[in-house]
Amino acid sequence: MSRSARRALVPCALMTVVVMAMFVTPARAVLGSVTADWPAAQVSRGSSVSVTGHVSGLELGDGVFLQQKVLGGWRNITKVRLDASRNYRVAIPTWWVGTRTYRVITTSLLNTTLLGTPSSSWTVDVVPTYNPPGYETQYKYSTSSPARWDPCRTIGYRVNARQATSGAITDVKTAFKRLGFATGFRFVYRGTTTGIPQNGGNSWYPAGTQIVVAWARPSQSSMLRLFPNAVGVGSAITSGGYVNGDGTSISRIIRGAVVVNSERHYRAGFGTGSTRGDIVLHELGHTMGLSHVGGSRQIMYPMVTSGPALLGKGDLGGLERRGARLGCVREAQYRTATAVEPLAVHAMP
């Protein structure tokens, strides 16, 4: 599948078992009760918001966990100690957008596997700092079976910009930052590489590198040769034998690749018109498991448009639904060796 080179002008921690009544020592009271004063149910991404409350029945030095609801249970996010009055304040993560549910639960300073009675839960909608275009339903995935990155692992990426024009690495970093805001995944720049992704497993990737973005001529990459008129191609590699926290089967995306046609030149940045940022963000969407959509206001639309390179409501919806709000991906208990299978390769022609 491919994106048009000429834009039509249009206006992817350990689960904690909650123990409801646990004693620290025979002489110690049950881990105390906790109140929670939650902020507004909708906040803008990047806002500084916290939950505050009071704990009774704990000793000084004990604390509370902020927990996020994920598939199969609750995941510990942040731990803070109580102050002298047994009050607490915990910052709520708002650096990534989407809807998620939190609660506060007491814990012991000496043994953080001991958990008390939780507070009431609270659901927040963290919204973008801009008005995303289009409709939330305008997203598709590359395969019918679920596949996603493990949000509990850092995703390292490298860039081969030897054939790119000035500022290419900056545009790639910006695109990954926007994907992080949309998914809750933590992307880390590992530096440059001279490698050029090809069809297949790309087992040559450097250590700590899961995604490579490279500029190359079509003759240099079998990915581009599949689409000789493409301005860019993006793909992902998945591996089976994994489960979500609730035990449901999942394929884990383990590697991603983007090759941009160095013979096609576009303006740097993410502004209006045909831009390099648009191309990179679109192809990286494929490494996240997204496919093309019919909505022309989404970044996953297969043709470049004249609008700014922003993730639309559909893009954000698709990324969130397989992002960090689901919790960790882990190996199945009786995992057998599975062939590494590529997701469908997509391109912008």
Bridge partners, residue 22, by sequence: none
The residue among 127, 150, 169 that closes a domain is 127
3-class state of residue 76 by DSSP: strand
* Neighbour-count burial of 199, counting CB atoms closer than 10 A to its CB (0-12 exposed, 13-18 middle, 19+ buried): middle
Pick the last residue of a domain from 96, 127, 158.
127
Question: Does the residue 23 lie in any domain?
Answer: no
Nearest Cα neighbor of 213 from 191, 183, 228 is 191
Q: What is the pLDDT of residue 30?
A: 54
The domain that holds 321 is classified in CATH as 3.40.390.10
Residue-number span of the structural domain to which 81 is assigned = 31-127
**DSSP H or E stretch at residue 318:** helix 313-321
**Ranges of the chain whose pLDDT falls below 70:** 1-30, 58-61, 334-349
| Pair 108, 255 in one domain | no
Contact 283, 253 (CB under 8 A): no
Is the separation of the CB atoms in 31 and 24 below 8 Å?
A: yes
Residue 336 lies in a domain: yes
SS3 239: strand
Residue 305 in tokens: 């448009």
Q: Is the pTM of this model over 0.95?
A: no
User: Residue 24: inside a domain, yes or no?
Assistant: no
Q: Check if the beta carbon of residue 45 is closer than 8 Å to that of residue 127.
A: yes
| C-alpha distances out from residue 286 to 141, 193, 209, Å | 9, 21, 17
Q: Tokens 């998620």 label which residue? A: 100
Residues 197, 199: Cα–Cα separation, whole Å: 7
Token pair, residue 111, equals 């043994």
Looking only at the bridges linking them, the beta strands covering 341-342 and 232-243 are antiparallel
116 and 145, same structural domain? no
